[in-house]
Structure 1
Amino acid sequence: MKKEKNNSANYKIDMKLMIKQLFELRKGPTPWGKAFCAGLCAGLPVLLGILMDNFELGLLGGVGGFTYLYVFNETYASRIKKIFLVALTISFLVGLGTIVAPYPWLVILIIGLIGFAGTFIFGVFKVPGPAAIFFILSFAITTSMPINPTQAPLRFIVVLSSGLFAWALSMAGWFKNPHRAEIKAVEDIYLSLGAFCEAIGSKDMNNKRQLALEALRRGEETLSSGVKLKRNKMQFDRLVLLNQYANDLFLELIEVSFYRSGKVPQEIIHRIGELNKFISCKNGKEDKIDIKRLFEEPASEYSRLMDGIYAIEGLINMPLEDIEAEVAKSVRPSRRMRLVKAMDRDSIVSLSIIMCMIP
């Protein structure tokens, strides 16, 4: 009797847990905005097909909606080329699948080539996205449709139209915030620097340092692929300078982690952790950082680190009109110029070589 009661109680607990998990909303890796737009790109062509009394063609148009699944947090300059090429490729493969559908062995060969080429290109160029899977799916869908090679041009145009709609939707945010990806990349850099600073002196320090280094690398790639627009030139320049200052701050944190065995003071951790919240300010007049100096003693062991933080805070507070002058001051010499200066007889490099040659 007791065993039956226990089983009944366990059954009720399992049912409650199952119902709770069924209606639980979990934070997934895909943002809601992207999920909605992907559904719109796939569903709108189907709806148009129903309204035009051609459901089959509407379903085929939904294949072009796969294009939006290749949208990630890249710059709009990269996205405008990438998504257009994806839309064109998916449309071409739909047309090709329609033409070669009568030849099964050729279909198998082409599917293998699509998988190889797509995976290779996405891997070599480190392009984020689902690689070749939706290219293969687009090609395979048309090979299973009624065989009619004469329909290839029509199917190509239908899929390309829905793909271009996905391309236009992916570029819609450019009008509101053309440097959204660059801002996000710089925010991630400062967020990772804050986590690294907090981890100094702990077992997780090496992992956080590697994550900060990866964020710096991604930020450099993102900013280098961005385009400096005339109407947002100074905002873009601020992001470039913030990335440059972040590299300097990272080097200071590396030095602190090597020469200090204990934790960094909480005031500094909090100061760095707050920096990423101000990156997206569109001008220097709102949401300014209150630059309150810490460790006023000149001989403080963290003085260089704090100087780097003050410089970043000053740059964030700086009006956009003054950014151009700051860029001119912060221009670093090219590698060629550094080599030329190193060959000068008065340079420290030349003097070091001469000193080594003296017996």
Structure 2
Amino acid sequence: MSFALATGMPIDQSLAPLRGGLVLMGGALSWIICMLGWFFNPHGPESLAVEKVYRELGAFLDSMGTETFRRARQRTVLAMKHAEDTLLAGFSNRRNPNELKRLYLLNEHANAIFLDAMEISLNKKIVMPPELGQSVRALAGAIASKTKNKKKILQPDQMTDEVEGLFMKLYNADAIMNEPVQKIDQAATISKPSLKTIFLGAFDKNSIVFLSSVRYGTILTIAAIIAYSANFNRSYWIPLSCAAVMSGPTIIATFHRAVQRTFGTVIGLLIASLILAAVHNEYIIVLIILSLTFITELFIVRNYGLAAMFFTPSALIMAEYSSQSYDFGFFATVRITDIIVGSLIGLIGSVILGSRSASFSII
């Protein structure tokens, strides 16, 4: 991205240290802000991830036998996958603090409860008692707060052997939460491949990472050739838009991102025009860019089209004020043209190179 942006700047080798330093300062500031939480709660992300697993697990247990079962099951699986990735990212071979061990064991028990519940769900005659979901959520509330679970596990008067097994696993998880780690006689099995294994595996000819990289590289090369050979203004927006659209995991997702980016950009242009027409104070512009960036980060994990409505005016405002040309019509026309061209290249390239993939054959 930095390389593409540099191609749109005036050629001046003497400014290379300044431009590189500005990028370094921006990245360093972001890193410092993100790492501030480490001083107060080093394992906060891991605790929140495991807490979410138990909250989703409680909702999943309540949904058994209802119409919301499939959706709750999917949310629980996604939460467990996210927790596993977060725990592995926080693991280090040089140190293995007790708090991480506790979280690993709690996550393993949540997986065991989920698998047993899935097996029980095959027998549609068995109804989960509400006390089970309530107890799981009570345990979830104690994970991130670092306090003992003061709420007792509510056990129904009558239950089947299968449900009793779930309560036994829940009792074990409660013990792991409340007892000192030194007294827990369980081993946390942590399997994390080395950096060398990951790196070399990515270059295997059968690796999906390698195949995807070749596909991305080929399409982005074509997008860059078209952008710079046709002398588009702000040519770097074309490969950037192409890369953003292609980040969808399937052909359908790629098509959705192309449509969302196009419509989001059009609406974003309208928002930018209103802001630039009404606001002429630099300090207020800074606050507006801050607000737009904040809203973008809130929406981009949920809906790319909504996020495009806010990062588009932010980019246009910065472009216009940094260039001091104040020609909004020029920037708006250039951006929407380049984004449409880049999105089309990404969509066509994904269809051609990914036509034999499993995701495409579903269409």
Tell me the TM-score range normalised by the shorter chain: 0.3 to 0.5
Q: Normalising by structure 1, what TM-score?
A: 0.47
Q: Normalising by structure 2, what TM-score?
A: 0.47
